[in-house]
Amino acid sequence: MSQQVPVIVLREDTERTRGRDAQRNNIMAAIVIAEAVKSALGPKGADKMLVDSFGDITVSNDGATILKEMDVAHPAAKMVIEVAKTVDAEVGDGTTTAAIFTGELLKAAETLLDQKIHPTTIVSGYRKAADKALDVIEATAEKVDPESSGYKKILVDASRTAMSSKFVSTSRDKLSKVVVDAVLAINKDRGPDEELNIDDIPRQKQEGMQVDATELVKGLVLDKEIVHPGMPKKAENAKIVLLESPLEIQKTEFDAKIAISDPTSMQSFLDEEDRMLKSMVDKIVEVGATVVIAQKGIDDVVQHYLAKENIMAVRRIKKSDIERLHRTTGATIVSKIQNLTKDDLGTAKLVEQRTVGEDKMLFIEGTKKTSVVTLLVRGGTDHIVDEVDRALNDSLYVVRDIVIHPYITYGGGSLAGEIAKQLRDYSETLKGREQYAVNAFADAIESLPTTLAENAGLDPIDMIVNLRNAHAAGKVTYGVDIGKGKVDDMKKARIIESALVNRQIVLSSAEAAQMILKIDDVISSKGAAFDAGGAGPGGDFDADED
């Protein structure tokens, strides 16, 4: 009898988890991530404090920020974080909702798996449910007319809604107007095929003063001060030079020695260096420039000569700011000072150094491109300024989303309630076990208003029963009114959301849940950052055995 030789396919240090165990571990990992941000949802959501390995602290209730700062090892958990990142990159808001919804979809799917319903059936049902949910969003979304008198009011209300769950909620009335003015300003000169990019609204963060002091500056603000105290602090009808080369004598890239035998040779050497620096200033004076903005350094001698000529100068400007100045002032970015001509100059009605808090900043106003704006973000401490900046970022994106896709829905879980109601009706038209998956999808999306109620200290069972009754009676815009503590009309309460954001949440969450459910085999090296049977060093995601 011949002896059988074992066939080794996987390496010795490889671990493998298959079937139901693999599914359970993946689902549990994703649910833990969703649970971590669940209490941050809504106007009454809690903040999270995140401390990194260096001891730096981040305090926020912004889903994208929380998830980005979390040190996660399990790949399924990372997939949920990727959902939030995708939603944040595409539409800028709804990250917390997307993470929670993904977790709830997987939690509902686990119940179906325990009932011996095959993952393929669940995935198929979820796909149909997601398509139906998108149809419901399209059917219930209201189109807004950019030419109507109430258009700006709708944008302001959408911005207020986005800020209602943030730290800045008490200042949202003022900040929402600032946000809408900023987005409409950059949209003014946008071409039909040009993207509306929020990066075109630079934000300068400055601690000191209260959040209400945050303002919109019609122009550019550089976090730089004038290099020489003898230079003017203000230039009207400025002629601007943009330099990407230094106003210094370039050092050689190799070691060199100069032999000087007498004092006159030494003086001649110094005089020649001075002459070269003076010639740079003469060129700037010759073309009639009154402001010099340099990406690199400016020699002390050059600073002296520029001050004598009453020319303002700043240095060490970021490349992105130099490019922004090029687009807005009309100035050419000059790489060699010898090639500078009058045609390279840009213009601005006013360039002025102003004191903001304890720092000095350069304000450039009245440029050729009138749509240029900068948000000056204020707050009492660094942590507050950072949180204000995150809130403004989300709000800017929500307003942008409505401008580029002029359809709105209403908040407070009203859309989730309507989707859940229509999905349950739709499930009755299906045959077989897919209808269980569609109903599970409805339960998962209905957990969003339930979470809103829980975080506000309301009775979630009463709220969800009243919400179902309202939608059964055809009250499509009814949701959980946190302020009143009851189910009410969100349209009347002006709780407005972007339809584009809600579409992205449904798409991204459903796709991630389907992908995780289709995994039935996890093969990992022992050297990997996680254990295939659990969560790895970040925590234990093992479920109890059946």
Q: How many CB atoms lie within 10 A of CB 63?
A: 28
Name residue, tokens 């988890």.
17
Reported as type and span, the H/E element at residue 184 is helix 172-188
Of the residues 17, 58, 86, 95, only one is catalytic, namely 95
Cβ 376 vs Cβ 214: under 8 Å = yes
Question: d(Cα 439, Cα 421) in Å, to the nearest integer?
Answer: 10
**Partners of 234 in the β-ladder:** 352
Question: d(Cα 185, Cα 199) in Å, to the nearest integer?
Answer: 13
Q: Which of 216, 206, 126, 209 is nearest to 175 (CA)?
A: 216
Question: d(Cα 327, Cα 151) in Å, to the nearest integer?
Answer: 29
Q: How many CB atoms lie within 10 A of CB 70?
A: 16
Structural tokens at position 308:
């004598």
Beta-carbon contacts of residue 191 (< 8 Å; ≥ 6 apart): none
Question: d(Cα 451, Cα 45) in Å, to the nearest integer?
Answer: 9
Is residue 214 among the annotated active site residues? Answer: no
Backbone angles phi, psi at 19, to 5 degrees: 60, -135
Q: Quick one: angle between helices 460-472 and 414-427, nearest 10? A: 70
Is residue 111 among the annotated active site residues? Answer: no
Of the residues 96, 102, 374, 451, only one is catalytic, namely 96
- Beta strand 219-222 with 234-243 is unpaired
Q: Which of 292, 386, 361 is nearest to 333 (CA)?
A: 292
Cβ 30 vs Cβ 80: under 8 Å = yes
Is residue 140 among the annotated active site residues? Answer: no
Q: How many CB atoms lie within 10 A of CB 257?
A: 4
Beta-carbon contacts of residue 394 (< 8 Å; ≥ 6 apart): 62, 92, 93, 162, 163, 166
* CA-angle at 357, arms to 354 and 362, nearest 5°: 25
Is residue 271 among the annotated active site residues? Answer: no
Of the residues 157, 321, 344, 394, only one is catalytic, namely 394
Query: HSE of 24 in the Cβ direction (CA atoms, 13 Å)?
Result: 15
Active site residues: 62, 95-96, 394
